[in-house]
Amino acid sequence: MAGRTILHSDANCFYASVELLHHPELRGKPVAVGGDPEARHGIVLTADYVAKRCGVKTGMALWQARQACPEVVFLPPRMDLYLRFSHMAREIYAEYTDLQEPFGIDESWLDVTASASLKGDGMAIAEELRERMKRELGITVSVGVSFNKIFAKLGSDYKKPDAITGMREWEFREKAWPLPASDLLYVGRSTRAKLYKLGILTIGDLATAPEEVLHAHLGKMGSILWAFANGYDDSPVKAEGFHAPIKSIGNSTTSPRDLVNNEDVKIVLYLLAESVARRLRENGFRCRVVEVSVRDNDLFCFTRQRKLDYATNVTGEIAGEAFTLFVENYDWGKPIRSVGVRGSDLVTDNYWEQLDLFSSVERREKQMKVDAAVDEVRKRFGFFAVQRGLMHCDERLSHLDAREEHTVHPHGYFG
């Protein structure tokens, strides 16, 4: 696909940047987002550049981050807020191209080849995007400009924050090949170790190594990485469509007491499903898979999932499917300590699907309207203003804190 202009836009320290817009008093201080600092558990999801300079890294346990930087300020994650900013960023991108492919919540590839005649070359478009993100959203992005997706992403990683880097056909060897092989997409810790044993330290080493040697040691991935390093990636940027920029939204909780029967579990599953379904609705998503996870009081865990006949964000449908999955798969050998519900394989509200002659469209529409009305009442008067009758069977369980221990999974490159 010669002659393409591909951008990769990556929001800098995204979660922390959004939080600082809402906490301007923390600017200049080390800030990290993640976990539950009061309960003293969890990991760092992201840190601002002040915290990073102090040694705070993504994936650190909170106590480790505190050791590295005693002054760090921890903020709990607010995924709904970050998703809204992700939506707004994609609305800006949509003014330049309909070929935009999310890579997680804070990154997107954009094929702006067709926009060049109106907006200028890739570097000019990248500069305009960078300024608009600062002016309209208050966050900074780093943008890579290239002829394919792999080097566009490498360009966005090349210089941060608030920077633009070209990795075009006439310059990628000069800029990319001296970089460590681990900077290339999909060269993780294990692959890096295997490459090191072969004497391959840089992307240039990878590009000039015999492909058959790489294939012999790394299998199919060896040939893929060799092609990536040589600039042979011609995968298209997928058109803006019906898939969400994330794979799933989930909620789990440790119950205030052990759950000892199906009715106990049903109460908690419905409470969690209300949280998950509401977040799906707020962010314009529906799920095509429902997943339930269970952990007993001996800490044995299992997860089960099922594909739905229809994509949904209806609370009753998600909760009902989760409870059915639980009943079919748990034999009550032990009391249960915690459960979780997740909606995955997400699509947007614009997703269309074939109607089933044997299902009641009118009934589903009524359920959706009821959910929307409940959302509005709770938004105005609080969560407990409206409750299901089921919740009055055990008020201790129904009043547990269903805070979002969100699980957000980005789409993979080969997805």
The answer to whether 107 is a known catalytic residue is yes
| Residue of 19, 107, 321, 404 marked active site | 107
Distance CA 207, CA 228 (A): 8
- Give 186-189 contacts, CB < 8 A, sequence gap 24+: 186/221, 186/224, 186/225, 186/228, 186/413, 187/225
Token match 């092989």: residue?
A: 181
Token match 């992307």: residue?
A: 203
Contact assessment for residue 141 and residue 17, using Cβ atoms and an 8 Å cutoff: no
Token match 């804070």: residue?
A: 106
Contact assessment for residue 162 and residue 134, using Cβ atoms and an 8 Å cutoff: yes
Torsion of CA 305, 306, 307, 313, to 10 degrees: -70
User: What is the full DSSP assignment across 273-295?
Assistant: HHHHHHHHHHTTEEEEEEEEEEE
Distance CA 12, CA 247 (A): 21
Distance CA 311, CA 83 (A): 19
- Give 117-126 contacts, CB < 8 A, sequence gap 24+: 121/5, 122/5, 122/6, 122/7, 122/146, 122/166, 122/168, 123/164, 123/166, 125/5, 125/7, 125/96, 126/7, 126/9, 126/164
Active site residues: 107
